[in-house]
Amino acid sequence: MLPVDTIHEEEPAFVATPVLALFARFLPERTTLVLEAWHVDDAVAEITLHVTSTQACGLCPLCHIQTPRVHSRYTRTLADLPWGTYAVRLQLRVRKFFCDNPACPRQIFTERLPTVAAPWARRTLRLAQRLLACGLALGGQAGARLAGRCQWRPSPDTLLRLVRAAPTPPAPAPQVIGVDEWAWRRGQRYGTILVNLEDHCVLDVLPERSAAAVAAWLTQYPTIAVVCRDRSALYAEGIHQGAPQAVQVVDRFHLVKNLREAVEAFLHDQRAALQAAAALTAQALTVVAGPVSTPRMYRGRHQGSQAWQQRQEAAQQQRHAAWVTTYEAIHTLHAQGTPVTTMAQQLGISRPTVRAYLRRTQPPSPRSPQRSGQVLRPYMTYLIQRWREGCTDSMQLWREMRALGYAHSARTVSRFITRLRQASAAGWAPETQASPYTRPQGPSARAVSFTWVCPETKRAQDAQLYVDQLLQAHPVIAQAYTLSQAFLALVRERRGADLETWMMETSASGIAALARFAQGLQEDLPAITAGLTLPWSNGAVEGHVNRLKLLKRQSYGRAGGGLLRPRLMQAA
């Protein structure tokens, strides 16, 4: 057993650490600051620490010569990180020094404490760094709310000021970069984003989308060897001017996107085939899924009201009339030689929309109103399973779905159940009603074009059945399909060497939309071949463009380049 005295010798030494020595450990800098006294004000929950500096000399900020000659002393008040619920204030006694260098224009200067606080700051460096992190991650308002929870209490404007003033982090000289546009305002004003494709960091955000701006930026970095871009001639020109040494690479995503658009244009003219394939798909799906005998009719529910249907049709007619007007306006302007950007601005629509209209050879056809199936979609499998089990009462099904989290009206459920009943009566499987590929009017050319470029292994069963039906019935569509799959294989397997063979074959195929796409590749052939050969792509750039959109919206559209740029470039 230990003698009682030994324990008592150690214990008091532990508890009786002088409070000043303890507090001093929490100072921002223990080598140059000395804690002289402290004071706690419980009424306002504030701790004041009186601190002096131990630096023997002052270092002139201009000539960087040390001097010991003190001019005067004064007190700086700095906010520091809080201790629990207590705000902490440093009363820092610092000196002014004479600069003894006769060649120096500065005669008197204040003592600098670069590890504690910036020269004129009202808060310590470590508090400022945390506030900056809040501002970078969340912006002004949300950042101030989070910081308030941490007892730091900055105003939103303070955070924004810190973000704007944040220094650009040093980055290694880039070698492989990606460039893409982003929208200040869609269809109106665009900017440019530049990303290092090796470490995926944002290199810069330019406020405009122009060849000159990109060229000027690129000339700063002669190290750049590869630039990945979209298919715009504007960036091609900018890169050619600013980085003539760099290999230009067209991003594969944009190539697949352009192919899909060509496919969509081709399918627009195949409306009848698209519609016919839908009925065949319904039959095929019924064979696969198995039909259901017509359930007993539940009487007492009325059909969807006439007035509602009429309103829907009127709205659809209005939409269709607007499409036709836009189609005619765009084709007239195009015939007059108006550039796409000007048309987009005049008509208040985006450039891709203008191009989509230009690819059409006839105005869009009217479409029957879309069924409001979106809210039901997550529950369709359940509804079909219950239908197969024999439950046909829409009110009962609605109650069951509410228990599963469905929050919409019983009428939507009842409308879908009516469709299931009609399908059963016609001898079709209920699964046909959950599929966009079996609608009587057929899926849209756009929807089919997306399925078309999607790898077979990733297609849904109904989508694959639909493509099978479509290709079996129409040799021209089958030929277009084979050609586009061959192009996708070039993209996926990076066989840039085989591109020209594919282009010749497609140009001679007689399928106008695809031939136009193939001939379009000719204009940018070296960059496209590089895109189909080299491993680089702009995925990281697209990711940052999405982040940029998020940041823009977080600031409710008020963030200018001064805020977006630092927030994008610095991972908080």
Looking at 8, 106, 301, 553, which residue binds Zn ion (CB under 5 A)?
A: 106
Choice between 100 and 198, CB closer to Zn ion: 100
Query: Minimum distance between the CB of residue 107 and Zn ion, rounded to whole angstroms?
Result: 8
DSSP state at residue 304: S
Specify the residue, 65 or 454, whose C-beta has the smaller distance to Zn ion. 65
- By the 8 A CB rule, do 80 and 125 touch? no
530 counts as binding Zn ion under rule CB under 5 A: no
CB of 117 to Zn ion, least distance (A): 21
C-alpha 397/C-alpha 140 separation (Å) is: 47
Residue 114, CA distances (Å) to 29, 48, 168, 235, 486 in order? 10, 21, 19, 43, 63
Any alpha helices (H) in 139-269, and if so which ranges?
A: 140-149, 156-165, 211-218, 233-242, 252-268
DSSP secondary structure of 520-534: HHHTTHHHHHHHTTS
Per CB under 5 A, the segment of 72-80, 104-112, 130-138, 282-290 that binds Zn ion is 104-112
**Residue 112 vs 421, nearer CB to Zn ion:** 112
Q: Smallest gap, in angstroms, from Cβ of residue 101 to Zn ion?
A: 5
Query: To 5 degrees, how large is the angle CA 341–CA 346–CA 350?
Result: 50
Nearest 5°: CA angle at 320, between 318 and 321?
A: 65
Residue 101 is a binding residue for Zn ion (CB under 5 A): yes
CB of 68 to Zn ion, least distance (A): 14
Identity of residue 246: A
| Rounded least distance, CB 199 to Zn ion, Å | 40
- Least separation in angstroms between residue 221's CB and Zn ion is 36
Which range, of 92-100, 364-372, 416-424, 533-541, touches Zn ion by CB under 5 A? Answer: 92-100
Looking at beta carbons only, is 60 or 463 nearer to Zn ion?
A: 60
Torsion angles phi and psi, residue 297, rounded to 5: -75, 130
Q: What CA–CA distance (Å, rounded) separates 10 from 378?
A: 68
Amino acid at 410: A
Q: What are phi and psi of 48, to 5 degrees?
A: -110, 130
Q: Is 63 in the site for Zn ion (CB under 5 A)?
A: yes
- Shortest Cβ 64–Zn ion spacing (Å): 7
CB of 61 to Zn ion, least distance (A): 8
Which secondary structure element, helix H or strand E, spans residue 87, and what is its range? strand 86-98
Nearer to Zn ion, 97 or 437 (CB): 97
Two tokens at 355?
Answer: 């191009």
Structure tokens at 430: 């209920």
- Region binding Zn ion by CB under 5 A among candidate stretches 34-42, 96-104, 120-128, 185-193: 96-104
Residue numbers 209-248 binding Zn ion by CB under 5 A: none
Q: How far is the CB of 188 from Zn ion (least distance, A)?
A: 52
The residue with tokens 């494709």 is 197
According to the binding rule CB under 5 A, does residue 104 interact with Zn ion?
yes
Q: How far is CA 515 from CA 174, 253, 507, in A?
A: 38, 20, 4
Examine residue 311 and tell whether it contacts Zn ion (CB under 5 A): no
**Of positions 27, 79, 88, 99, contacts Zn ion by CB under 5 A:** 99
Residue 549 binds Zn ion (CB under 5 A): no
Contact predicate 77/91, CB 8 Å: yes
Residues 122/77, Cβ–Cβ less than 8 Å: yes
> Segment near Zn ion (CB under 5 A), from 90-98, 105-113, 324-332, 402-410?
105-113
Binding residues with Zn ion: total (CB under 5 A): 7
Least distance CB 66 / Zn ion (angstroms): 10
Angle (nearest 5°) at CA 316 between 310 and 319: 145
Position 111 contacts Zn ion (CB under 5 A): no
Contact criterion met (CB below 8 Å) for 344 and 327: no
Site mask for Zn ion (CB under 5 A), range 43-62, x = bound: -----------------x-x
- Residue ranges binding Zn ion (CB under 5 A): 60, 62-63, 99, 101, 104, 106
